[in-house]
Structure 1
Amino acid sequence: MSLTQAARRTTEPARKPPERSASSTPAGPSGTNSRLLALRWLALRAVALVVLLAVWHLVVVAEVWPRVLVPSPGDVWHAFVQASTTHDGVRGYSGHLLIEHLGVSLRRIGVGTGYAVLVGVPLGLVIGVVKPVAVVLEPAVTFLRTLPPLAYLSLLVIWFGIDESPKIWLLVIAALPPVAAATAAAVRTVPGDLVEAARSLGGGPLTLLLAVRLPAALPEILTGIRIAVGVAYTSVVAAETINGVPGIGGMIRDAQRYNQTDLVIAGIIAIGISGIALDAALRGVERAAVPWRGRT
């Protein structure tokens, strides 16, 4: 507030705001419009899902492909229920319920992505700030980012065996490059005026890095973490190719060997739904951590 505004406020007499009863206060039109818009988008998604299921059912009824290759929505639902319950003395699939297979895969993704973030963020900060380090390490990060997971899975199995270690290492290697690349790019785009202002106030290199560059780059870093989680999720089936049961990728791989297409599709749908929920949770964390993003 300027001195003129402060003086004006002190000289003007206080005005009593008009009294307004609770019943006479109209509802905000913006809130109502946003709710109506959300309902419209939800209805559109529901209609799209119904149309997809109807087309799927018609394709099965028309026998465009053999039913063993393209099962009906009812067959997939039946496989989903059987994999999620105990039936005829059999508990789920391979002794584990579908939710347990999914939980094991999510734990592996969480551990692999967690290690990737712990290494990738500091690595990206150093690459983005120290030019000699960038010259040496940035090509290595790009090299790993372009490799498909199956390219180095066999090598990891030779090094670490067929237990949990190769799966976790594969997810770490798959998730680390997106985090490091996003962090390095974000640090390089921090406004120079902001850095110079902090330096003029006596900030040293470490202070500039942790108190200026890192907070300014945080929105893009969180986006890189979201991308890394998606990459790790797409790699989990490859990670669980070797001794992956329990695990949703191992379950899908095992069902594929026995031509259980309905169970394969049920597992894919479970991965997709859980992936949407996980991404929504990460977007919630992003909104809470950087509420200023997208605002001027």
Structure 2
Amino acid sequence: MSVFVDLVPDEPKVDPSRSAAPAQRWKGLLTKAGLPLLSVLVFFAVWQTVATLGIWNETFVPYPSTVWRAFVDVSTTHDGTRGYAGYLLHEHLYMTLRRVFAGVLIGVVLGVLLGLLMGSIGWLRSVLEPWLTFLRALPPLAYFFLLVIWLGIDEAPKITLLALAALPPAAVATTAAVVAAPVGLQEAARALGATRIQVIRDVVVPSALPETFTGIRLAVGMAYSSVVAAELFNGIPGIGGLVKDASNYNNTPVVLVGIFAIGVSGLIIDGLLRTAERRYLPWIGKV
């Protein structure tokens, strides 16, 4: 009887999933970064084409290069003129962001607290829910002039308007999340001797946080969409005031600069919120 020993070593086995992982990462990166970049390039190409064809007057559709020059002029001191109305673009943006931050902070804090109460107390939800729906349905301009009459034309009506715009989304999202908190977990916590406050703190709030965070993102969006209305009066420095003042003189390039400044800063803030959501709420989609 002979025994044959295979002296040739086995070839290392390659895990196909590992070899495919880098390709999938590159594909995901191209999808996330490449497609948005492509859409931006297509947008500017269409814009340039429309401006070149002269379908509309240049007052209404200026060339991208004209808007770029307006951006440079608003951002720098040129020919003895400092920015627009004496303020540089970043100073206008800073004042707008400061107002948005103050309004969103007030609106979100009150909205989340109100949502916790409404989600936990049934009769309070029945009383306040119609009022929240009523407020959410109102466009900002519908009550901004009333705020100006009550509070004057300084910062108070602007911040109040932004807070009122941010409050309903945060309150509604938090209320829905608290109502949808798992009943089984709440009953298990009570069976283990937890008090009502402990159940809310340890079970309801963690369960409601993902949807509440979505409400916060919506609240920021609502505040941003109301910022031009909030800066209708005495809004300079501010992006909304810049846009309104430039529109009075048919200065379309500066209006577009203001719109782009609001949009780009809004994208950055939403990206920061999503990053914070992924970092501080890692259990989303896993439970």
Q: Tell me if TM exceeds 0.5.
A: yes
Shift of residue 295, structure 1, vs aligned partner = 2.1
Q: Does 1:162 align with 2:118?
A: no
Counterpart for residue 209 of structure 1: 200
User: What per-residue deviation string (whole Å, max 9, x for no partner) do you get for residues 181-220 of structure 1?
Assistant: 0000000111110100011111111111122111110000
Which range is displaced more, 250-259 or 55-64?
A: 55-64
Distance between the aligned counterparts of 1:141 and 1:41, measured in 2?
37
| Candidates 64, 72, 77, aligned match of 2:55 | 64
Distance in 2 between residues matched to 1:153 and 1:226, nearest whole Å: 23
Query: Residue 136 of structure 1 is aligned with which of 123, 127, 144?
Result: 127
**Partner SS for 2:60:** coil
Q: Does 1:240 align with 2:231?
A: yes
- The answer to whether structure 1 residue 39 and structure 2 residue 30 are counterparts is yes
1:278 matched to 2:269: yes
Q: CA deviation at 1:31?
A: 4.1
Q: Does 1:86 align with 2:77?
A: yes
2:219 alignment partner in structure 1 = 228
Q: Which residue in 2 is equivalent to 1:146?
A: 137
Q: Distance in 1 between matches of 2:262 and 2:145?
A: 24
Deviations 1:243-279 (A, max 9, x none): 1000001100110001000110111111111111000
Moved over 3 A (4+): 26-29
What is the identity, as a one-letter code, of the residue corresponding to 2:262? I
SS at match of 1:67: coil
Partner SS state of residue 293, structure 1: coil
Q: Which amino acid counterpart does residue 85 of structure 1 have in structure 2?
A: T
- Counterpart in 1 of 2:253? 262
CA shift, 1:50, in A, is: 1.9
User: Which residue identity is paired with 1:204?
Assistant: T
Distance 1:28 1:194 in 2: 42
Q: How many residue pairs end up in the alignment?
A: 271
CA deviations over 1:143-199 (Å, ceiling 9, x no partner): 111111000001100110000000000000000000000000000111110100011
Give the superposition deviation at 1:45: 2.5
Aligned-residue CA RMSD (Å): 1.4
In 2, the alpha carbon distance for the partners of 1:208 and 1:240 equals 43
Name the SS of the counterpart of 2:226 in structure 1: helix
C-alpha distance in 1 between matches for 2:129 and 2:102 = 24
In the alignment, the residues of structure 1 paired with residue 102 and residue 252 of structure 2 have an alpha-carbon distance, to the nearest angstrom, of: 30
Report the equivalent of 1:23. Answer: none
How far did residue 27 of structure 1 move?
A: 7.1
Gaps of 5+ in 1: 1-25
Separation (CA, whole Å) in 1 of partners of 2:212 and 2:223: 16
CA distance in 1 between partners of 2:57 and 2:260 (Å): 21
After TM superposition, give the deviation of residue 28 of structure 1 in Å: 5.9
Take 2:249 and 2:210, find their aligned partners in 1: how far apart are those partners?
A: 45
Distance in 1 (CA, whole Å) between partners of 2:152 and 2:205 is 38
Give the letter aligned to residue 276 of structure 1: L
**Which amino acid letter does the alignment assign opposite residue 179 of structure 1?**
A
1:290 aligns to 2:281 (yes or no)? yes
C-alpha displacement at 1:35, in angstroms?
2.7
| TM-score using structure 2 length | 0.91
Offset of residue 36 of structure 1: 3.4
Give distance in 1, aligned partners of 2:61 and 2:136: 34
Same amino acid, percent of matched pairs: 51
Determine the C-alpha separation between the residues in 1 that align with 2:125 and 2:38: 49
CA distance in 1, matches of 2:62, 2:127: 51
Task: Identify unmatched segments of 5+ residues in structure 2.
Answer: 1-16
1:10 corresponds to? none
